[in-house]
Amino acid sequence: MHQVMAILLAVAAATDRGEEPPPGPSATAVRAAGQLAAPAEAPPAARGADPLRAPVAFAALRIGTIFPVSDPASRGVSSGRLDVEAVAGWWFLPWLGLEAGVGCYRLETSVYPSVRASYADQTRTCPLTLGLRAEASGLRLERARLSPLLLAGIGYYATRLSRDDVVPYQPSTESFGAHLGGALQLTSDSGLTAGLEARYVWVNSGVGVGRGYPGSYSIGGYRVGWTIGWAFR
């Protein structure tokens, strides 16, 4: 850069004196040298890169409810109660992650709706799940990103039924199941995440009623809830 400035000053001085400029590099060469001396700009790909797309670990808590699906083999009527689940995992690709979860949800069910209050049957299911989550690029906001997620996985579902009867009745069952669903998640630049999630759960079997009451209770359905969590960089 100092050499270029010296050449320009010498040319200006010779012009003022009416002399021929000293031999040296042409104007094109001088401009090229000035461009080389200027600081290099970052490539466009690097300037436009989204730091939130880098693989990160994540953890989240989902709080919601479950909407049970009627089982054709069941004579019961069910309604969902509180559904809570904690999940954690990591992105092994920028768009694909592995997650593990543990949670618990309740259903209130009766074989005969007319005597529902008399028996107050409740099922408590605690699943252990392992699944994949895929994230689309989504919409980039000023300080966050809004992205759709696709969720799929398998699980181990342990269920216990409680009946307030003359003689307490508490059968239990363990079943395998699967889930498929989606979510809409907002991820801030600081790492805070929040969203809405819904998934459908298939479970291999329900809980047998027993004690002279035919039928069984379905323990699958639609799990819906709000999520809040953190993305670790």
Confidence of residue 116 (pLDDT cuts 50, 70, 90): very low
Total number of domains constituting the chain: 2
Task: Kindly write down the DSSP assignment for every residue of the chain, as one continuous string.
Answer: -HHHHHHHHHHHHHHHTTPPPPS---HHHHHHHHHHHSPPPPPHHHHT--GGGS--EEEEEEEEEEEE---TT---EEEEEEEEEEEEEEESSSSEEEEEEEEEEEEEEESSGGGHHHH-EEEEEEEEEEEEEEE---EE-SSEEEEEEEEEEEEEEEEEEEB-SSS-B--EEEEEEEEEEEEEEEEETTSEEEEEEEEEEEES--EEEETTEEEEE---EEEEEEEEEEEE-
pLDDT tens digits, one per residue of 78-105: 677 899 999 999 999 989 999 999 999 9
Highest mean pLDDT among 92-96, 124-128, 150-154: 150-154
> Which pLDDT score, from 0 to 100, does residue 49 have?
43
- 28-32, 92-96, 226-230: segment of lowest average pLDDT: 28-32
Which tens digit of pLDDT belongs to each residue from 134-145? Answer: 998 889 998 999
Identify whether residues 164 and 76 lie together within a single domain.
Answer: yes
Q: Which domain holds residue 12?
A: 2-40
The reply to whether 26 and 89 lie within a common domain is no
The answer on 149 and 210 residing in a single domain is yes
What is the value of pTM for the model shown?
0.69
46 located within any domain: no
Report the CATH number at residue 77. 2.40.160.20
pLDDT band at 115 (very low <50, low <70, confident <90, very high): very low
Same domain, 111 and 182: yes
